[in-house]
Amino acid sequence: MRKHGVILALVVVSVAIWVVSASAISSPQTFNLLEVETSYGDQPIGGFGFDRPPVGGDQFAFNHNLYKWAGTKKGARAGHLQVLGTFVTGFGSDFSRKATALIDAQAYLQGGTVFAEGYGTFNSDGPSKFTLPVVGGTGTYANVRGYVNVRDLGDGNQGKSNLEFHLLP
């Protein structure tokens, strides 16, 4: 009898997980946000503060503001972004190479969060552009999938990026 109770419990938990894992959005969504660096947002980790070229293992973290995309102007505040990055490769001592980092990014938006994680390649001499897979979310964005295109604005040193979200239920 106990064996049947355990099997029943496993079935109930499996069904509960399946029901909860459905996304809260019902159709694909695409939207753009402007990421803006803040004066208090960068957090050096382990002594690395971008005062030298990064090497594999160096980490960085930041908390930036997010605004609705309004072309050349900043729209209304839309939330904030928390990022942790770990360099897999560095630029080299003369900044002649591109650097690759594993990026964990959580966008806190009205109604929930979107979590993206993946590898991004950074240019040492100009703006960077890469795509991160969306691996989940909370609230309105519970269990979404998709991707985020990340594109530095200007010459890459403006402290602003365009984040183009492509979310699937």
- Which regions in the chain score pLDDT beneath 50? 2-19
Closest of 106, 133, 136, 165 to residue 22, by C-alpha:
136
135, 102 in Cβ contact below 8 A?
no
Give the pLDDT of residue 135. Answer: 97
Q: Please give the Cα distance from 163 to 169 (Å, whole number).
A: 19
User: Is 25-168 in CATH node 3.30.300.30?
Assistant: no
pLDDT of residue 63: 95
pLDDT at 103: 98
List the chain domain ranges: 25-168
Which pLDDT does position 21 carry in this prediction?
A: 53
Q: How high is the pLDDT of residue 14?
A: 40
The token pair at 18 is 């399946």
pLDDT at 15: 39
Determine the pLDDT at residue 11.
Answer: 40
pTM, to two decimals: 0.82
| CA distance linking residue 101 with residue 118, whole number of Å | 8
What's the distance, CA 68 to chain centroid? 16
What is the SS3 assignment for 4? helix
Residue 53: per-residue pLDDT? 87
pLDDT at position 136 is 96
Compute CA 58 distance to the chain's CA centroid, rounded to the nearest angstrom.
Answer: 18
CA distances from 70 to 32, 74, 77, 128 (A): 9, 6, 11, 21
**Tally of CA atoms within 13 A in the half-sphere of 57 that contains its CB:** 2
